[in-house]
């Protein structure tokens, strides 16, 4: 069930939203728009304060129906001096449905186009962070679903402006109490501007106690007063946000030059994320074309991981899929380069359990109902879906709603086309030499290939040798494992497209039933796989792997295997092989290494499509001490892993 909202007739198009949970209105009695502009935007000195800044971070407590976000976004759009990047981070314990958010904007027609864009991304809001991207990634909304205190503790950025909003302190005291305001203060730097509509004594006292210097100013009619001020404690604030200070290039430092080594999914994603922030990025690759490594896979599946305890991997995979869907939706042509068809997971080996709270309504009033948000992601497969795949009604299977297939090379090309990115092929890096302020990258003959202030190793399994070349040896050797894999594919024979399911199926190997070939012929191919051979870094084709792929397909989808048998048995199947690169935790390795301005983004394992877009954004956000797209706890799980050091997580099968 979605958060219930009553729409009271106030003569406006949509009506006035009222929360039965808190017994309060969502917005002031005159529509809320004036309040939003006057109390919050102007109260924080915006838009003037952000003029010419490279980025600006607004932190809000209480997202409600998103009015303050729309107003900030609208002001950003209208301002010729707008920052390159606008971050809007908002906490919300009880998210309204997408329909209600849109309805809330009906009274303000100028905001409707923005509300429609938000509505299309407001799905699957399970507890935790959700990064939504607008304006080509220049307006980033981080919705933090859960108790404000807990959500704020997962942040390490410093806000430039703070909006304290929410239902009234009498009706929802928790969001105004000293603990929440302390958590807000932890996200402030000296000088962060703060604004709120309430002048309640308890709030003013708590704010003063937390180091905010506030004053009453004339309110937005009919309210007499409002509060505005800034974070200016009499004590030296703790360096709780050490990340900003320890960011190797410094949070405030403008974007500089970077070389990314490797132009697969990982390298291209990093390059695009940095270029969007104004970096000049050179991407070097040993191959003659981009996506010469594992990312040259003809097509791969994009599917979230699920587990009964909603593990780190499961949560990270959802963050990754959301980021990837945004990127693919913006950059690729649906039906040609990708297709978000949904994916059926046939749990051949063992039935996968969904978290109990995803399937059952809560019995206690204070518990949140997650069923609707969870079913936006994954639900038990229906008998119709199973029948469509030729599977019996009792086959253990899940339906992943936000899933599909992607041609990785198309996405790599699109990312490399981002202004500010330059790709150079036939450029195998052998040596990394630290000069005074920069890295010099040399080939085997000692010729300089490039130089830059920052280097990112995104060379798949090759990242291990590159880290070694940069001096990371012994206990600082990167723990990466090569896992060779082979996929089978063929152009469809007459009649086989119609005989296969309309969507990919995974669970024991996988089948992508129909992707158009990139040669312009209009023909369709299927892709099935893949073999999994640990500790083999060689790209080689093996006949035995083809047989293995066919055997897997027979268990995964017996009917489909029957239709493709003639091609498998008649030697009409092509093979494609590549080398995955995995870490002991089976999570990517992302972060700074023990050398100045040297970062790694690798270890995507079997989930490059799931993780690449998220990792690109995460790396860029960490470099600039921006708000992260995922909780700090999840980001910490991606720290680079070294040989011999204990994995932070138990090893999982990927
Ligand atoms: C058979 C198979 C099936 C798969 N199926 C799926 C799937 O369905 N879904 C999914 O999400 N993932 C799948 N994967 C995994 C996915 O392909 C990888 O996770 C992803 O491509 C990794 O991207 P990357 O950029 O880290 O590495 P790569 O794409 O391997 O890129 C690394 C690049 O670095 C370059 N390089 C290496 N060393 C150097 C050097 N010294 N100098 C310069 N350049 C260098 C290489 O040329 C290469 O282009 C599959 C993988 C395989 C092998």
Domain of residue 569, CATH code: 3.30.9.10
Is 651 a member of any domain?
no
Question: In whole angstroms, what is the distance from residue 263 CA to residue 279 CA?
Answer: 17
466 Cβ closer than 6 Å to some ligand 1 atom: yes
Q: Which of 561, 532, 557, 562 is nearest to 545 (CA)?
A: 532
Examine the domain organization and report whether 196 and 318 are in the same domain. no
Residue 653 belongs to a domain:
no
pLDDT of residue 27: 74
pTM: 0.96
- Do residues 80 and 193 both lie within one domain? yes
- The reported pLDDT for the residue numbered 248 is 45
Q: What sections of 480-637 are H helices per DSSP?
A: 496-499, 543-556, 558-569, 608-623, 632-636
Angstrom distance (rounded) from CA 141 to CA 326 = 13
Nearest CA, atom 2, ligand 1: 485
Q: In terms of C-beta density within 10 A (0-12 exposed, 13-18 middle, 19 or more buried), how is residue 568 classed?
A: buried
Which domain-ending residue is among 548, 582, 616?
Answer: 582
Boundary (domain end) residue, out of 217, 243, 269 = 243
Task: Indicate if ligand 1 lies below 6 Å from the C-beta of 408.
Answer: yes
Query: What residue owns the CA closest to ligand 1's atom 50?
Result: 606
Distance, in Å, from the CA atom of 233 to the CA atom of 144, rounded to the nearest integer, reads 26
In this structure, the answer to whether residues 141 and 18 fall within a common structural domain is yes
* One domain, residues 437 and 420: yes
pLDDT means over runs of 10, the chain (654 residues)? 83 84 76 87 98 96 96 98 97 95 92 97 97 97 97 96 93 94 97 96 97 93 90 85 46 75 98 96 98 98 97 97 97 97 95 93 82 96 98 97 98 98 98 94 98 97 97 91 98 92 96 94 94 95 97 97 96 97 96 96 98 98 96 97 69 40
Are residues 235 and 126 part of one domain? Answer: yes
Three-state secondary-structure class, residue 464? helix
Domain assignment of residue 648, yes or no = no
Indicate whether residue 273 lines ligand 1 (CB < 6 A): no
Give the pLDDT confidence score for residue 204 in this predicted structure.
97
643 lies in a domain? Answer: no
Q: Which atom of ligand 1 is nearest to the CA of 459?
A: 34
Would residue 649 count as lying in a domain?
no
- What SS3 class is residue 201? helix
The pLDDT score that the predictor gives to residue 507 is 96
Q: Are residues 361 and 490 in the same domain?
A: yes
In a domain, 449, yes or no: yes
Residues 6+ apart with CB under 8 A from 417: none
pLDDT of residue 651: 41
Whether 350 and 386 share a structural domain: yes
117 and 233 both lie in a single domain: yes
Per-residue confidence (pLDDT) for residue 646, from 0 to 100: 60
Shared-domain flag, residues 29 and 149: yes
Q: What CATH number is attached to the domain comprising 18?
A: 3.40.50.150
Based on the fold, state whether residues 139 and 153 are members of the same structural domain. yes
Residue 445 lies in a domain: yes
Q: What is the pLDDT of residue 327?
A: 97
* Tens digit of each residue's pLDDT (9 = 90 or more) over 119-167: 999 999 999 999 999 999 999 999 999 999 999 999 999 999 999 998 8
Instruction: Establish whether the linkage from the previous residue to 591 is cis, with ω within 30° of 0.
Output: no
Query: 3-state SS of 284-330?
Result: ECCCCCCCCCHHHCCCEEECCCCCCCCCHHHHHHHHHHHHHHHHHHH
Element (H, E) at 246: helix 242-246
Say yes or no: CB of residue 630 within 6 Å of ligand 1: no
CATH number, domain of 418, equals: 3.50.50.60
Asked, for residue 1, whether it belongs to a domain, the answer is no
Q: From edge to edge, which strands make up the β-sheet containing 6-8?
A: 6-8, 16-19, 24-25
The ligand 1 atom at the shortest distance from the C-alpha of residue 530 is 1
Ligand 1 in reach of 607 Cβ (< 6 A): yes
Tens digits of per-residue pLDDT, 84-133?
A: 999 999 999 999 999 999 999 998 999 999 999 999 999 999 999 999 99
Q: In the prediction, which pLDDT does 86 show?
A: 98
Output the pLDDT for position 647: 55
Q: In whole angstroms, how far apart are CA 80 and each of 51, 83, 112, 650?
A: 8, 9, 22, 50
Q: Give the domain extent around 342.
A: 299-406+482-582
β-partners of residue 161 are: 58, 193
Q: In terms of domains, do 229 and 266 share one?
A: no
In short, whether 265's Cβ falls inside 6 Å of ligand 1 is yes
In the three-class reduction of DSSP (H, G, I as helix; E, B as strand; rest coil), residue 172 is classed as coil
Indicate if 388 and 487 belong to the same structural domain: yes
* Ligand 1, atom nearest to 605 Cα: 19
Number of domains present in the structure of the chain: 3
Would the CB of 578 count as within 6 Å of ligand 1? yes
């Amino acid at each position: 069930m979605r958060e219930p909202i009553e729409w009271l007739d106030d003569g406006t198009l949509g009506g006035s939203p009222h929360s039965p949970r808190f017994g309060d209105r969502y917005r002031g009695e005159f529509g809320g728009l004036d309040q939003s502009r006057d109390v919050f935007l102007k109260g924080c000195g915006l838009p003037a304060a952000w003029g010419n800044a490279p980025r600006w971070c607004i932190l809000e407590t209480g997202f409600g129906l998103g009015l303050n976000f729309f107003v900030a976004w609208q002001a950003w759009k209208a301002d010729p001096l707008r920052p390159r990047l606008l971050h809007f981070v908002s906490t919300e314990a009880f998210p309204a449905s997408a329909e209600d958010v849109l309805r809330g904007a009906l009274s303000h027609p100028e905001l409707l186009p923005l509300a429609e864009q938000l509505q299309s991304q407001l799905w699957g809001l399970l507890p935790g962070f959700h990064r939504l991207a607008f304006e080509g990634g220049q307006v980033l909304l981080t919705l933090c679903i859960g108790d404000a205190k807990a959500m704020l503790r997962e942040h390490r950025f410093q806000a430039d402006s703070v909006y304290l909003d929410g239902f009234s302190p009498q009706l929802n005291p928790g969001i105004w109490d000293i603990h929440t305001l302390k958590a807000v203060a932890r996200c402030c730097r000296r000088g962060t501007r703060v604004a709120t509509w309430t002048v309640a004594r308890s709030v003013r006292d708590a704010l003063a106690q937390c180091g905010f210097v506030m004053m009453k100013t004339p309110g937005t009619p009919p309210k007499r007063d409002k509060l505005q001020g800034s974070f200016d404690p009499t004590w030296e604030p703790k360096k709780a946000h050490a990340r900003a200070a320890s960011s190797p290039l410094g949070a405030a430092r403008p974007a500089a030059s970077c070389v990314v080594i490797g132009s697969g999914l990982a390298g291209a994603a990093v390059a695009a994320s940095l270029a969007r922030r104004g970096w000049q990025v050179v991407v070097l690759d040993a191959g003659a074309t981009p996506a010469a490594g594992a990312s040259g896979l003809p097509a791969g599946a994009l599917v979230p991981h699920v587990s009964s305890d909603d593990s780190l991997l499961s949560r990270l995979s959802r963050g990754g899929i959301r980021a990837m869907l945004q990127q693919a939706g913006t950059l690729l042509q649906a039906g040609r380069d990708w297709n978000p068809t949904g994916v059926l997971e046939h749990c051949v080996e063992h039935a996968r359990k969904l978290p109990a709270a995803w399937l059952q309504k809560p019995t206690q009033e204070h518990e949140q109902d997650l069923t609707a948000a969870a079913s936006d992601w994954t639900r038990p497969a229906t008998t119709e879906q199973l029948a469509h795949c030729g599977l019996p009604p009792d086959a253990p299977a899940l339906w992943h709603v936000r899933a599909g297939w992607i041609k990785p090379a198309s996405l790599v090309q699109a990312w490399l086309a981002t202004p500010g990115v330059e790709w150079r092929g036939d450029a195998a890096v052998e040596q990394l030499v630290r000069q005074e302020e920069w890295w010099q990258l040399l080939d085997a003959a000692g010729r300089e290939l490039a130089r830059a202030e920052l280097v990112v190793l995104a060379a798949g399994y090759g990242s291990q040798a590159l880290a070694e070349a940069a001096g990371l040896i012994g206990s600082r050797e990167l723990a990466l494992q090569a896992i060779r894999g082979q996929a089978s594919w063929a152009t469809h024979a007459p009649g086989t497209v119609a005989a296969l399911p309309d969507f990919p199926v995974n669970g024991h190997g996988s089948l992508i039933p129909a992707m158009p070939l990139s040669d312009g012929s209009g023909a369709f191919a299927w892709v099935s796989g893949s073999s999994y051979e640990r500790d083999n870094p060689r790209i080689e084709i093996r006949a035995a792997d083809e047989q293995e792929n066919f055997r897997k397909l027979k268990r995964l989808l017996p009917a489909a295997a029957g239709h493709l048998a003639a091609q498998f048995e008649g030697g009409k199947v092509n093979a494609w092989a590549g080398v995955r690169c995995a870490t002991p935790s089976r999570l990517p390795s992302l972060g700074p290494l023990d050398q100045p301005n040297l970062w790694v983004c690798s270890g995507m394992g079997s989930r490059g499509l799931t993780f690449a877009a998220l990792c690109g954004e995460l790396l860029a956000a960490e470099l600039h001490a921006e708000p992260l797209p995922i909780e700090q706890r999840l980001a910490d799980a991606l720290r680079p892993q070294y040989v011999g050091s204990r994995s932070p997580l138990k090893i999982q099968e990927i």
